[in-house]
Amino acid sequence: MAEKKIIAVVGATGAQGGGLARAILADGTGGFAARALTRKPDSDAAKALRQQGAEVVACDTDDAESVRKAFRGAHGAYCVTNYWEHYSVDRELAQAKHMAAAAKAEGLAHVIWSTLEDTRKWVPLSDNRMPTLFGKYKVPHFDGKGEADGIFKASGAPTTCMLTSFYWDNFVFFGMGPKPGPDGRLAITFPMGGRKLPGIAVEDIGRCAYGVFRRGGEFVGKTVGICGEQLTGAEMAAKMSKALGKEIVHNDVPFDVFRGFGFPGAEDLGNMFQFKHDFNDYYCGARSVAFSRQLNPELLTFDAWLAKFKDRIPVG
Ligand SMILES: NC(=O)c1ccc[n+]([C@@H]2O[C@H](COP(=O)([O-])OP(=O)(O)OC[C@H]3O[C@@H](n4cnc5c(N)ncnc54)[C@H](OP(=O)(O)O)[C@@H]3O)[C@@H](O)[C@H]2O)c1
């Protein structure tokens, strides 16, 4: 039997990378093996991956040499950064540089970079429709990832840039579940007007990435965009109401109100929603549901995601 192609998965103990590691492990005859990279090989998440058949390898993307070692001998790598751990674009950029350089130096055949738009291409810093943050960004957690597309390109590593979408899992884990509004009605709160928000079950991001690896070099040098469904806030609220059996509405607050909520990252996220709203045709067009389903036939709709996760959505 031919040797399996190893995919080195950054973030394998987390949401995106975990989905990819599990997709590889679930497909015993697919010809790929999962190498789960983590800073904490003894964590419960790492142990679970090892038990499911992954090779667990220590790696810290802040450390260039550790990434090189972890990528050695692999066919491909899934590269992701976690902005919300440190709120530092500089750190994300340095990590991207380490991963791109390691992929090139170790001769990997295919790298997927989990990315988002550099919104400054649409909203230059001089555009005052939204505040400039940290002196040089509009949507810091987007802009750094988009800027890093250029780092991967310049490195010469054979890269697919994969544009991800809003996780529906944010309703469970990111404090976005329905809460009583000023009128007492339960509401999900985000500023999108009546425009559509592309969303996805986070587990499907990894499954789509697996689909990209399975298609060989077809998407090397290209950008692909994925999502599970594109729905307005009102459509999401209606579906959530049905699933949870209680009325939930969409609270479409103004962008400035959202930016002023005061939690860490509120301004960044307020700007993000405004970008998705103001450039909605581009933003939705860059993420195709049909293409995502080709990559991953198990792709969940929002209704299907709700059926699985409704009991875990904190309400109130
Ligand atoms: N929430 C959304 O709607 C959304 C949508 C699109 C994109 N995103 C982006 O998704 C990213 C986070 O991905 P996620 O949700 O999969 O994260 P997550 O579930 O919070 O997990 C983070 C993962 O990154 C790993 N990691 C972090 N720093 C590392 C380092 N220095 N070296 C090695 N591994 C490191 C962690 O591994 P160990 O701790 O085991 O080392 C963990 O596996 C963010 O940058 C965010 O901007 C989020």
250 CA distance to ligand 1 middle (Å):
28
Give nearest CA residue, ligand 1 atom 21: 14
78 CA distance to ligand 1 middle (Å):
12
pLDDT of residue 182: 81
Q: Is there an atom of ligand 1 within 6 Å of 277 CB?
A: no
**Among the atoms of ligand 1, which is closest to the Cα of residue 46?**
40
240 CA distance to ligand 1 middle (Å):
26
pLDDT, tens digit, for every residue of 254-280? 999 999 999 999 999 999 999 999 999
pLDDT of residue 181: 86
pLDDT, tens digit, for every residue of 108-134? 999 999 999 999 999 999 999 999 999
**Among the atoms of ligand 1, which is closest to the Cα of residue 10?**
34
Region 294-303: mean pLDDT is 98
**Among the atoms of ligand 1, which is closest to the Cα of residue 83?**
45
pLDDT, tens digit, for every residue of 153-184? 999 999 999 999 999 999 999 989 999 988 89
pLDDT, tens digit, for every residue of 52-97? 999 999 999 999 999 999 999 999 999 999 999 999 999 999 999 9
Whether the predicted pLDDT of 1 surpasses 80: no
Q: For 274, phi and psi rounded to 5 degrees?
A: -65, -40
Q: Please, are residues 112 and 77 in contact by the beta-carbon 8 Å criterion?
A: yes
Tell me the whole-structure pTM to 2 decimals: 0.98
Q: Is there an atom of ligand 1 within 6 Å of 141 CB?
A: yes
Give nearest CA residue, ligand 1 atom 27: 82
pLDDT of residue 158: 98
Cα dihedral sign, 275-281-283-289 = positive
**How far, in Å, CA of 232 to CA of 230, rounded?**
7
**Among the atoms of ligand 1, which is closest to the Cα of residue 59?**
33
Measured CA to CA in angstroms, residue 221 lies from 9, 102, 122, 161 at distances of 19, 17, 22, 8
